Structure 1
């Protein structure tokens, strides 16, 4: 009687090699998107000992958010809808008259010029995240409003549109090179100095 043949065996010796090659393939070809994050200026842990930095109180626009979502702007209660307008007025106040493109009131008790103007944002630990982000958007919107105005005057288009095109990796290099100086010029006219103070737990 002939011997029955067993089930054919599958040679799995090269499966590990194939899996390894597939892993390498996906690692090499996959692109990982990175978040840009929030562009904010945090207070230093310790002030430098050898450098004495003097910032006049009138050049700081203080915005406090309490745990109930209420805004205390320059020690006065303010509605969210009025925040952007107040920030714009502060940024382009031009108290020392050195800014020739500013249209502010030149109030001697407010900021000297856009270069020295700082917006300080402080929130309570129990502040809702949505409120915090909404306030940040209004403050950034104040900078963008002024930058858009100057970009329209100088280049006939909004700054936000120019910046988005400049930061887009798909934009041709010759276009990006042309936009680089324009974007930087407008940014320097109204530098974004938005400082986030340490949170409190009142």
Structure 2
């Protein structure tokens, strides 16, 4: 009886199949990018730029999330549930209180000459601040701006601010943002936890 050789498997096309599978998975896989905070960083300053003038204390709303996960607003302990309303009061200053932000008159489309607050929210945190508290503070501050913009959009245009955004009414959205500009300044975290 003659000895038969074991037939070999042709593996020449295996590399092609592996490559096609790789391309298939790369093309069909979606990457979610909805995570994180939407913040626009200021452009870098040219080297010859002069220091900006100091901001008056009355125009700055100091929010500190410390290493003990306590929220301090203007030096006073505050619950996270109170932050949004406190921030709205500061940003809008409806009674034009002397200890809250000053205003400057600007020409804004759809609104004409309008008083715009000189407000700045200074958000500070410690290196030991929990990420959860940091996100809650960011959310509450963003909600304060969103609610003020929504109230103004409903008053002026009879529609919600989100509707104006969703329907691509960029000029109206821009005008509302000019009346209530979102100014949140974040300082570099401090190391007060003894680390």
TM-score bin, normalised by smaller chain? 0.7 to 0.9
* Bigger proportion of residues as strand: 2
Among 179, 185, 191, the residue aligned to 1:195: 185
Name the count of aligned residue pairs. 179
Q: 1:147 to 1:81 in 2, by over 3 A?
A: same
- Answering whether residue 92 of structure 2 is matched by residue 92 of structure 1, we say yes
Post-superposition CA distance 1:127-184 (Å, at most 9, x none): 2221121122111111011011012123333223543x3xxxxxxxxx43xx322322
2:49 pairs with 1:59? no
SS of 1:120's partner is: strand
Distance 1:120 1:43, change over 3 A: farther
Which residue of structure 1 aligns with residue 118 of structure 2?
Answer: 116
In 1, distance between residues paired with 2:57 and 2:73?
Answer: 14
Separation in 1 of the partners of 2:119 and 2:5?
A: 85
1:42 & 1:74 partners in 2: Cα distance?
Answer: 25
Deviates more, 1:48-57 or 1:190-199: 48-57
Give the TM-score normalised by the residue count of structure 1.
0.75
Over aligned residue pairs, what C-alpha RMSD do you find? 2.7
TM-score, length of structure 2 as denominator length: 0.77
- CA drift of 1:16 comes to 0.7
Q: Take 1:44 and 1:129, find their aligned partners in 2: how far apart are those partners?
A: 26
Between 132-141 and 110-119, the greater mean CA deviation after superposition: 110-119
Structure 1 counterpart SS, 2:32: coil
Q: Is the 1:40–1:196 contact (alpha carbons within 8 Å) kept by the matching residues of 2?
A: no
CA separation of 1:81/1:21 partners in 2, compared to 1, >3 Å: closer, same or farther?
closer
Give secondary structure in 1 for the equivalent of 2:12.
coil
Structure 2 spans left out of the alignment, 5+ residues: 104-115
1:69-106, Cα deviation, whole Å (9 max, x unpaired): 2222122232322221111111112xxxxxxxxxx111
SS at match of 1:122: strand
Asked if the contact 1:40–1:195 (Cα under 8 Å) also holds between the matched residues in 2, the reply is: no
Structure 1 19/43 Cα, relative in aligned 2: closer, same or farther at 3 Å?
closer
Q: Distance in 1 between matches of 2:60 and 2:46?
A: 18
**Where do 5+ consecutive residues of structure 1 fail to align?**
94-103, 166-174
What residue in structure 2 maps to residue 33 of structure 1? 32
